[in-house]
Amino acid sequence: MTLPVAGVFRSLRGFNYRIWIAGAFVSNVGTWVQRTAQDWLVLTQLTHHSASAIGVVMALQFAPQLLLLPWTGSAADHFNQRRLLIFTQATMGALALALGILTVAGIVQLWQVYVFAFLFGCAAAFDAPVRQTFVAELVGDDDLHNAVALNSTSFNTARMIGPAVSGVVIAAIGTGWAFLINGVSFIAVLFSLLLLRGSELHPSARAHRARGSFTEGLRYVWGRPDLKAVLAMLFLVGTFGLNFPIFISTMAVRVFHADARGYGLLSSIMAIGTVAGALLGAARRRARFSLLLLGSGFFGLGCTLAALAPSYWLFAAALVIIGVAALTLTNTSNSLMQLSTEPAMRGRVMALRVGVALGGTPIGAPIVGWVADQCGPRWALGVGAASGFAAVIVGAYALARLEPRASV
């Protein structure tokens, strides 16, 4: 089966989207360089292979998605999205440079990584919903599903490159330089935002500023059984399944005894699956609820195979399956929720989506890290598998109750 190439890349016909995705790709490579280096720094240099410490870092980095939820979605709906993106991207770049300077100077401590993780998470909490809804301003609603999928393709192609680059950088010149590389990479996305043609944007309706706008968003979602079902599935997988820094780092170091290059390679191999999942999504004309079940089921299967893998390369192969499944679930949920939501409510709805998908990490990551420390990395992957199968049950129940137009 061949993918219709013109259809897969149709969003690139617009100048603004081409500029945006090019700048975002460079920045995404830097982001994955830093993520890999941060996990390696905590696991091997600041602790003695402590999965629980990585769980704390993840919890602090994603806690702001829930803590700041009353403000992040409202900001995306009320403020100029382009200016808000410039501010959040510049903030994250400055934090990466500061952490890099501390690490290169040899004075970084674990508590400092915790602080930077939380500050980075605060900036990312405001960045995520506006970055996702800003895509609609770049391409319009007709190509939104395709643009969302291409964004994921860009992000996960960078995921193939970044961890491998990070492993080489760490081995050659040290962990701190990986953070500095990420800080510099934000210049690309900032430059792309400045180059966008205002006349070619598709501005969405802005919500009127009023008290209670967050609760208005909650009431809107509460009245939509389809949105509640998607959020429930995302919560299960996001809380207990999307803990890849714990899964991959502990399996690499404690089970397969890999070095920094071997760890980085595993993250890059997983990205093969996520890129494939993103491209498959880009080829589809529209998102379907049934794809959420498919993604959740294969996610549970992939985690099961990874937990049972007897060798490094079979584990790597299982990561490809996990990558395809995870992207099918997350991309489909993104498109379904945006396209079925009123434009003036999208920022708040997408903030809820991000908050639920990532905000459960402060609960799940420490639990999964503790399981990895006490029972072993394979049992931690078992927790991830259970989350995927539980999401299938939730989705199947919802599919049976939703109206035909939402369930096909």
pLDDT at 146 over 50: yes
Q: Which of 212, 183, 19 is nearest to 90 (CA)?
A: 183
Q: Which of 330, 354, 341 is nearest to 129 (CA)?
A: 354
Angle (nearest 5°) at CA 247 between 245 and 252:
95
Within 10 A of 228 (CB to CB), how many other CB atoms are there? 13
pLDDT at 2: 46
pLDDT at 271 over 90: no
Per-residue b or e along 360-399, where b marks 16 or more CB atoms closer than 10 Å to that residue's CB: bbbbbbbbbbebbbeebbbebbbbbbbbbbbbbebbeebb
pLDDT at 242 over 90: no
pLDDT at 46: 92
CA distances from 227 to 18, 220, 240, 280, 347 (A): 31, 9, 20, 23, 14
**Mean of pLDDT values over 356-384:** 89
pLDDT at 76: 75
**Mean of pLDDT values over 193-218:** 70
pLDDT at 205: 52
Residue pair 388/325 in contact by the 8 Å Cβ criterion = yes
- What is the token pair recorded at 48? 């003695």
Residue pair 228/221 in contact by the 8 Å Cβ criterion = yes
Confidence at 109, pLDDT banded by 50, 70, 90: very high
Q: Which residue has the higher pLDDT, 402 or 275?
A: 275
Please enumerate in sequence order all residues whose Cβ is within 8 A of that of 398, keeping only pairs 6 or more positions apart, or say none: 225, 226, 229, 232, 289
pLDDT at 272 over 80: yes
Q: Which residue has the higher pLDDT, 188 or 261?
A: 188
Please enumerate in sequence order all residues whose Cβ is within 8 A of that of 400, keeping only pairs 6 or more positions apart, or say none: none
pLDDT at 181: 96
Three-state secondary structure of 182-203 = HHHHHHHHHHHHHHCCHHHCCC
pLDDT at 297 over 60: yes
Q: CA torsion sign, 379 to 44 to 164 to 129?
A: positive
d(C-alpha 282, C-alpha 285), whole Å: 8
- pLDDT mean across residues, the chain: 85
d(C-alpha 140, C-alpha 393), whole Å: 34
pLDDT at 158: 85
The predicted-structure confidence for 37-96, as pLDDT tens digits, reads as follows: 998 999 888 998 888 899 899 889 988 888 887 788 777 777 788 899 999 999 999 999
Please enumerate in sequence order all residues whose Cβ is within 8 A of that of 313, keeping only pairs 6 or more positions apart, or say none: none
pLDDT at 404 over 60: no
pLDDT at 408 over 50: no
pLDDT at 406: 45
pLDDT at 219 over 90: no
Residue pair 227/351 in contact by the 8 Å Cβ criterion = no
The percentage of residues in the chain with a pLDDT greater than 90, rounded to a whole number, is 40
pTM for the whole structure? 0.75
**Residue 209 gets which letter from DSSP?**
P
Least confident segment among 2-6, 149-153, 173-177: 2-6
pLDDT at 42: 93
pLDDT at 98 over 90: yes
pLDDT at 194 over 80: yes
Within 10 A of 49 (CB to CB), how many other CB atoms are there? 15
Q: Which domains does the chain have, with CATH numbers?
A: 5-200+210-407 (1.20.1250.20)
pLDDT at 206 over 60: no
- What is the token pair recorded at 390? 């539980």
Collapsing DSSP states into helix, strand and coil, what is residue 52?
Answer: helix
d(C-alpha 167, C-alpha 354), whole Å: 29
**Residue 2 gets which letter from DSSP?**
-
pLDDT at 203: 67
Confidence at 346, pLDDT banded by 50, 70, 90: confident
